[in-house]
């Protein structure tokens, strides 16, 4: 039974994130909360993340959502850093304001081989208005 396995804490997951993903470290991406299949990540605002129109680029939000999926899996399963994305889908709903972004991740289903994840992205100004919504599948080693 997977359910008896021990998920990692926000602090442990933050170390994995910074050590494992040079790009996440560069962006100062941070795990703020994590608990048994759910997590909250913060992406600080950076001009490096902009695109024409002065808004935060799509791939920046994709990277945030994908990281929140990875962290969600480990918050429930423990240290499975080699879990990899097999499929990822994202809808962009609203133009993000020039602020920090927050990603709320959660495990929808944890099977033996695959995990299905959902992530909603908000601005720090309004954690009720979804800016982007992603779903994805991780293959568990």
Interacting residues with its own copies (CB under 8 A): 16, 20-23, 26, 47-53, 55, 57-60, 62-63, 66-67, 81-82, 84-94, 108-109, 113-114, 116, 118, 130, 133, 135, 137, 139
Whole-number Cα distances in Å, 121 to 6, 27, 114, 139: 26, 16, 23, 23
Residue among 10 and 114 whose Cβ is closer to its own copies: 114
> Which residue from 28, 29, 30, 27 is spatially nearest to 48, judged by alpha carbons?
27
Closest CB 87 distance from its own copies, rounded Å: 5
Residue among 34 and 121 whose Cβ is closer to its own copies: 121
**Three-state SS for 58?**
helix
- Asked if residue 85 lies in contact with residue 137, where contact means CB atoms within 8 angstroms, the answer is yes
Closest CB 108 distance from its own copies, rounded Å: 6
Closest CB 63 distance from its own copies, rounded Å: 4
Closest CB 30 distance from its own copies, rounded Å: 16
Integer Cα distance of 64 and 40 in angstroms: 11
């Amino acid at each position: 039974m997977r359910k008896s396995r021990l998920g990692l804490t926000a602090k442990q997951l933050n170390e994995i994130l910074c050590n494992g993903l040079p790009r996440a470290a560069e962006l100062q991406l941070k795990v703020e909360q994590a608990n048994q299949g759910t997590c909250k990540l913060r992406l600080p605002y950076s001009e490096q993340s902009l695109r024409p129109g002065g808004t935060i680029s799509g791939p920046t939000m994709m990277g945030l959502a994908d990281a929140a999926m990875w962290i969600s899996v480990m918050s429930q399963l423990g240290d499975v850093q080699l879990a990899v994305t097999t499929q990822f889908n994202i809808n962009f709903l609203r133009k993000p304001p020039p602020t920090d972004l927050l990603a709320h991740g959660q495990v929808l289903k944890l099977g033996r081989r695959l995990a299905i994840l959902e992530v909603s992205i908000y601005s720090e100004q309004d954690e009720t208005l979804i800016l982007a919504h992603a779903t994805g599948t991780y293959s568990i080693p």
